[in-house]
Amino acid sequence: MVVFVTRRKRPTSSELLVLPDAGFPRALIAGPSKEPAPVGAMASAEPLTALSRWYLYAIHGYFCEVMFTAAWEFVVNLNWKFPGVTSVWALFIYGTSILIVERMYLRLRGRCPLLVRCLIYTLWTYLWEFTTGYILRQFNACPWDYSQFDFDFMGLITLEYAVPWFCGALIVEQFVIRNTLRLRFDKDAEPGEPGGPLALANGHVKTD
């Protein structure tokens, strides 16, 4: 089970009951809102392992690759079949690359502004794409070739993709990495069942 956990609000004035017959004038006590769960209530909720995060990043990259190639085919050839294609190698390439970008994000988020971080991610993407492509080419297994582009280098990377890589890096940091790092596993919960005092009917917790 996966849960989101944030800080709980204090009871508002509308949640307080006035007791006119109390031993002191207008005593206030908490109303029907539940007491905050004890600190140990989420002891079984743990962050995702590196392998679990790698898996999510790999699936994200694989999906984006298929969608991008389908959109490219439509824009260039007006192909309404939207034939998105990729390679199984993309799972390893994207999963590992985004996991490393995650480490960069954790180190740079308090030191560099967002646009500078995305520029660093883009440079890393070019380096990683060239390295993995060069290694795969030695075994005749590289699934991409940019030789038809004007600003390519050895057919492994191309300057025309700088803007898409930059935008992709922005999306990865702001939506994929940040939300993935918030995910928690409740190891004691049964599949499809609430996992303790903080779980709601749908198995998730999200309070302000």
Kindly state whether residue 172 falls inside one of the protein's structural domains: yes
Summarised one tens digit per residue, pLDDT across range 37-57 is: 445 545 568 999 999 999 999
CB 1 within 8 A of CB 203: yes
CB 207 within 8 A of CB 197: no
Kindly state whether residue 175 falls inside one of the protein's structural domains: yes
pLDDT band at 198 (very low <50, low <70, confident <90, very high): low
Structure tokens at 198: 């903080």
Mean pLDDT rounded to a whole number for the chain: 82
Kindly state whether residue 149 falls inside one of the protein's structural domains: yes
One-letter amino acid identity for 8? Answer: R
Collect all residues with Cβ–Cβ distance below 8 Å to 98 and sequence separation of at least 6: 57, 58, 60, 61, 172, 176, 177
CB-facing half-sphere around the CA of 37: CA atoms within 13 A: 16
Kindly state whether residue 80 falls inside one of the protein's structural domains: yes
Summarised one tens digit per residue, pLDDT across range 114-125 is: 999 999 999 999
SS3 143: coil
Kindly state whether residue 68 falls inside one of the protein's structural domains: yes
Q: Give the pLDDT score at 21.
A: 47
Q: Does residue 60 have a pLDDT over 90?
A: yes
pLDDT band at 153 (very low <50, low <70, confident <90, very high): very high
CB 21 within 8 A of CB 58: no
Kindly state whether residue 207 falls inside one of the protein's structural domains: no
Kindly state whether residue 17 falls inside one of the protein's structural domains: no
Among candidate residues 176, 148, 174, the one with its CA nearest the CA of residue 161: 148
Kindly state whether residue 144 falls inside one of the protein's structural domains: yes
Q: Does residue 27 have a pLDDT over 50?
A: no
Domain with 154 in it: 49-182
Domain count within the chain: 1
Among candidate residues 57, 128, 47, the one with its CA nearest the CA of residue 99: 57
SS3 27: strand
The span from the CA of 112 to the CA of 105, in Å, is 10
